[in-house]
Amino acid sequence: MPVKTKAPAKRRPTAKSTARPAKPAATKAATVAALIKQLPPDRRAEVEKIRDLVRRNLPKGYEETVSGRMIAWVVPLRRYPDTYNGQPLWYAALGSGKSYLSLHLMTVYAHAPLAERLRAGFKAAGKKLDMGKACIHFQSADDLALDTIAEIVASVPLEKYVAMAQAAWRRG
């Protein structure tokens, strides 16, 4: 008489087999200069171009800082401390991911007319806009409608942006 054997038990997926690929570790850079220095030379050059563009067009009052693996331009906590997470409110941010660069323009998420202006500017410049809600993915500065980016960055003074954030928080 043949001996019945149990079929091998199905193995449950382990954390290792189901885990997403690891994100690059958060930078230990304490300054923007240190963050930029950590980038590969080709990425460094592109980040510096966009950083310069943002800085030239940034309204007064915003501060440049490091946030995770990104350069962020924020509303200082001394001006608007009541954020939902206790962190400074981002106005814009620039980062280098594994396979692309990203520029976050928070005002286009918060204000639909600015999002439309951004789309129209890219179209007029003959550029492809690869964007989520507020994040533009790109490989080089040449991929961007730089005049439109500059216009969007320059368009919202700090006090107006704080008012937009407070209004959104009240609606929330």
Query: Using one digit for the tens of pLDDT, what is the confidence trace for 102-115?
Result: 999 999 998 999 99
> Does residue 12 surpass a pLDDT of 80?
no
Can you point out the beta strands (E) in the chain?
63-67, 70-75, 89-96, 101-105, 135-138
The number of folded domains in the chain is 1
Task: State the CATH number of the domain containing residue 83.
Answer: 3.90.1150
**What is the spatial distance between Cα 7 and Cα 95, in angstroms, rounded to a whole number?**
50
Instruction: State pLDDT tens for residues 23-42.
Output: 444 557 899 999 999 999 99
Position 3 in a domain: no
In a domain, 152, yes or no: yes
Q: Is residue 18 part of a domain?
A: no
DSSP 62: -
Q: Measure the CA–CA gap between 35 and 39, rounded to whole angstroms.
A: 7
Does residue 163 fall inside a structural domain? yes
Q: Tell me how far apart the alpha carbons of residues 122 and 116 are, in angstroms, rounded to a whole number.
A: 10
> Does the reported pTM lie above 0.85?
no
Question: What is the pLDDT, as a whole number, of residue 4?
Answer: 55
- Phi first, then psi: give them for residue 135, nearest 5 degrees: -110, 120
pLDDT for residue 85 is more than 70: yes
Full residue range of the structural domain in which residue 158 is found:
29-38+53-171
